[in-house]
Amino acid sequence: TTTTTTTTAPNPTTATSPHLSRGISTTSTNRDGDAASSHKTLPRVTERRPTETGRGGKASDAGVKVCVFGATGFLGRYVCSGLGSNGVLTYIGSRGDEFEYRHLRTIFELGRAKYQFYSSRDRQSMADLIADADVVVNLVGKYYETKALENTDKFPYLHYKVNTSLAEANVTVPQTIAELCKEMQVDNLIHVSSAAANPNSSSEWARTKHQGEQAVLEAYPWATIVRPTQMFGHEDKLLNWYANMASRLPVVPLVDGGHALTQPVWVDDVAKTINRIIDDPDKFEGRRVDVFGPQDYSYKELAKFVYDITGLDPVLSEIPAPVVKYAANVLQYQGEPHLTPDMVDLMSEDYLPEMTPEGYDAQSQVFTMKDLGLEATPIEKVAFKYLHRYRTGGHFILAEGYH
């Protein structure tokens, strides 16, 4: 029997767990109105709704319209995969040509996605993209400033100008989206920030992430803020970073000895969290959702883990951050730089959730994946799937007689 979930107001006198006090329903009913047991479930788009039409899944109409900024990025493709699989009409914005989003086309049934160009410096084009969306999701972010050469009158007659700064990508664009959502009376806004967002960080990226949060909440106080830790996955710039550096360089730097801690989360878990918020966004208005992995690691431990899988054997050199910045000052001018001075600052600080798991359970203001019925995936279960390609001969070479 297909089930639909109903929400009930929490009763502080009968609540037995912090999850009940946060307004998460633990009771579901079937179509006949009979109670069905469920463990911290939320309304799911995957369950047929009274207004839904179609054959179900990708071929159905979930009755929800979602606008996604940043859909072509690392996290965006996974968020879109969940939306397309459940028949959500999705408006996808891109600042590039059609080849920027062609990998997203197969995710959606014909007619269930609208692809539209917009400029982050043109409010009207952003408003046209939002249109009549019920929910807007902002995934826009940048870890480096894009630069281009321009002519000058003085020697050396060339100068690097900044096209898109960290402040523009992480503060101005989110603020504009939030202002438009308020002006256009959009029902819900989900803004993806970072667990590293900190006004006192030595990293400009982390500082601008915090400023972006504040700008969004000032313009649209009901926004839902999602704060993931560093994300790992097939296209990541975390585990792949170590593998790529070892493939290109004989020595891989460990900033300040690689002693800073990080608690990486699988990108698909973050996407599932966002999709579950979209299932019933009213429950999360004005709230924060922290998303993090099950265990923390030092960067040195992550590097050794990557090289254990890949079979690469570079020299791991523990180098002070100021020294690493000398190399970063040169590498930052690559098209997609492997290292920038700001990345060095970020790698010298802990990248962890705000509280311990016990701390999250003891409070009622901030949601976690646990509250949404999701369990964090260990890094060991996913990493081999995309890191074995760095092995000489792949993984087949390890099996004798297998060609």
pLDDT at residue 264 is higher than 50: yes
pLDDT at position 148 is 82
pLDDT at position 36 is 34
Exposure class string for 197-217: b at 16+ Cβ within 10 A, else e = beeebebbbbbbbbbbbebbb
Distance of alpha carbon 325 from the chain centroid? 27
CA angle 266, 233, 341 (to 5 degrees): 100
> What are the residues facing 196 on neighbouring strands?
none
Strands 297-298 and 231-232: unpaired
Separation between Cα atoms, residue 224 and residue 213, nearest integer Å:
10
Number of neighbours of residue 175 by Cβ within 10 angstroms = 18
Start-end of H helices in 86-136: 102-105, 123-130
The tens digit of pLDDT for each residue in 62-109 reads: 888 999 999 999 999 999 999 998 889 999 998 888 888 889 999 998
Q: Give me the percent of the chain exceeding a pLDDT of 70.
A: 84
The tens digit of pLDDT for each residue in 199-237 reads: 999 999 999 999 999 999 999 999 999 999 999 999 999
Question: pTM for this structure?
Answer: 0.85
pLDDT at position 158 is 84
pLDDT at position 10 is 39
For helices 239-248 and 299-310, give the axis angle rounded to 10 degrees: 60
**Mean pLDDT, rounded, for 137-141:** 95
pLDDT at residue 140 is higher than 90: yes
Q: For residue 18, what are the contacts with CB-CB under 8 A and spacing of at least 6?
A: 361, 362, 363, 364
Q: Give the end-to-end CA distance of the chain in Å, rounded to a whole number.
A: 48
